[in-house]
């Protein structure tokens, strides 16, 4: 049940990420001027940009409910039912404080400190629950709930502060973190296979960095500062240009670092494994190639909605693939050192 629910949460997280991409790529981020309501309503007239933005919020609400259910189920499995009430209370504190603060900010243009304090107290309480949980699944589920609530708050801040770049990048960063946690929860109880994981960790970290780099390119408007391919303004690394140009080229260059790392770690893993792990390992290089092609198409189509959104989806798939590989493998036991030659 828990694995199925975690898998459902992971699928919903994918849908949420894609919906978020559509919000950005159709300029719908400010279609609802308030948060968490939209024009003061929980269900506004669903037309045009409002429909895009509010659908994203509704999917986020579904993801949040899934996360709550995961915490409840994992805590009950660990026979810590009392903590369910605690996490419910602290989550209500986070959401209640945030919703009230969001409303005050919308009406008076000032964020009330009491709201911030309530939210911080709620998060501290959730962290306490996560620390008290005996079961690793319950710890993960509680942490995932905290991440998804934080992601929601960042979503609110993007609206209330009219799309600040740092918040937008963090919003995507936390969405990828939440996706990773749900993937771990979904495959956590599967039997683990022994495999070298150092390179896999490095590759996963590089993927996450590349996703953050891509989000920064997207949200600073640097996506089309270089429109020639493969060079930029006639050079691999043009000199005397604005930092946004270098940001764009860093994203392109790092894609090849990621390609190298993914190919290396995947082939190494594929050689020493079978079944699902081998399939996941071999899928990764193909996904990176598709991702590079989508990056090129994003430029040549002037950020057409389909390649641009697919670029985000494949990034999420690649990260999920690597997180699943990490969750399904374990480090080989250390070989005991020989203590001198026999007499």
Is residue 304 part of the contact set for another protein (CB under 8 A)? yes
Helices (H), 78-135: 81-108, 113-132
Among 8, 49, 78, 199, the residue binding another protein under the rule CB under 8 A is 49
CB of 32 to another protein, least distance (A): 9
CB of 56 to another protein, least distance (A): 11
Cα 294 from Cα 310, distance rounded (Å): 7
Nearest to 245 by CA among 231, 263, 265: 231
Is residue 303 part of the contact set for another protein (CB under 8 A)? yes
Cα 261 from Cα 285, distance rounded (Å): 9
Among 65, 92, 114, 242, the residue binding another protein under the rule CB under 8 A is 242
Q: What residues from 159 to 188 belong to the interface with another protein (CB under 8 A)? A: none
Nearest to 319 by CA among 173, 216, 219: 173
Cα 1 from Cα 5, distance rounded (Å): 6
Residues 6+ apart with CB under 8 A from 320: 10, 14, 179, 180, 183
Is residue 34 part of the contact set for another protein (CB under 8 A)? yes
Say how far residue 18 (Cα) sits from the centre of its chain. Answer: 11
- DSSP per residue over 287-299, as a string? HHHHHHHHHHHHH
Cα 179 from Cα 201, distance rounded (Å): 17
Under 8 Å between Cβ of 49 and 31 = yes
Q: How many residues line the site for another protein (CB under 8 A)?
A: 30
> With respect to another protein, which residue has the nearer C-beta, 60 or 222?
222
> With respect to another protein, which residue has the nearer C-beta, 31 or 320?
31
Local structure of residue 32 (DSSP, 8 states): S
Is residue 270 part of the contact set for another protein (CB under 8 A)? no
CB of 256 to another protein, least distance (A): 23
> With respect to another protein, which residue has the nearer C-beta, 34 or 321?
34
Give the N- to C-terminal CA distance of the chain in Å, as an integer.
57
Among 121, 241, 293, 313, the residue binding another protein under the rule CB under 8 A is 241
Is residue 48 part of the contact set for another protein (CB under 8 A)? yes
Is residue 28 part of the contact set for another protein (CB under 8 A)? yes
Among 97, 223, 285, 307, the residue binding another protein under the rule CB under 8 A is 223
Among 65, 189, 279, 301, the residue binding another protein under the rule CB under 8 A is 301
Kindly list the residues in this chain that would bind another protein in the complex (CB under 8 A).
Answer: 22, 26-28, 30-31, 33-34, 47-49, 51-52, 106, 109, 221-225, 227, 241-242, 244-245, 301-305
């Amino acid at each position: 049940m828990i694995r199925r629910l975690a898998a459902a949460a992971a699928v919903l997280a994918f849908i949420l990420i894609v919906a978020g991409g559509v919000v950005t790529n159709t300029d719908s981020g400010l279609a609802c001027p308030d948060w968490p309501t939209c024009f003061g309503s929980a269900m506004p007239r669903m037309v045009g940009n409002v429909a895009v933005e509010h659908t994203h919020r509704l999917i986020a609400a579904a993801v949040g409910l899934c996360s709550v259910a995961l915490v409840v189920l994992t805590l009950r499995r660990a026979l810590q039912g009392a903590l369910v009430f605690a996490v419910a209370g602290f989550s209500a504190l986070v959401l209640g404080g945030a919703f009230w603060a969001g409303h005050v900010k919308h009406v008076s243009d000032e964020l009330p400190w009491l709201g911030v304090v309530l939210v911080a107290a709620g998060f501290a309480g959730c962290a306490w629950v996560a620390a008290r949980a005996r079961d690793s699944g319950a710890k993960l589920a509680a942490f995932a709930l905290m991440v998804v609530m934080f992601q929601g708050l960042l979503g609110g801040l993007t609206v209330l502060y009219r799309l600040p770049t740092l918040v937008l990048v963090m919003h995507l960063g936390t969405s990828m973190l939440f996706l990773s946690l749900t993937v771990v929860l979904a495959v956590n109880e599967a039997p683990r296979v022994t495999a070298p994981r150092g390179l896999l960790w490095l590759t996963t970290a590089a993927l996450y960095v590349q996703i953050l780099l891509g989000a920064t390119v997207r949200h600073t408007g640097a996506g089309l500062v270089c429109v020639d391919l493969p060079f930029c303004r006639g050079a691999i690394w043009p000199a005397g240009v604005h930092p946004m140009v270098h940001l764009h080229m860093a994203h392109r260059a790092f894609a090849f670092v990621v390609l190298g790392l993914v190919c290396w770690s995947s082939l190494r893993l594929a050689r020493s494994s079978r079944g699902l792990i081998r399939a996941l390992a071999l899928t990764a290089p193909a996904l990176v190639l598709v991702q590079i092609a989508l990056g090129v198409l994003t430029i040549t189509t002037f950020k057409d909605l389909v390649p641009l959104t697919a670029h985000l989806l494949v990034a999420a798939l690649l990260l999920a693939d690597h997180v699943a590989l990490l969750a399904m493998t374990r480090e080989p036991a250390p070989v005991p050192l020989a203590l001198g030659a026999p007499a």
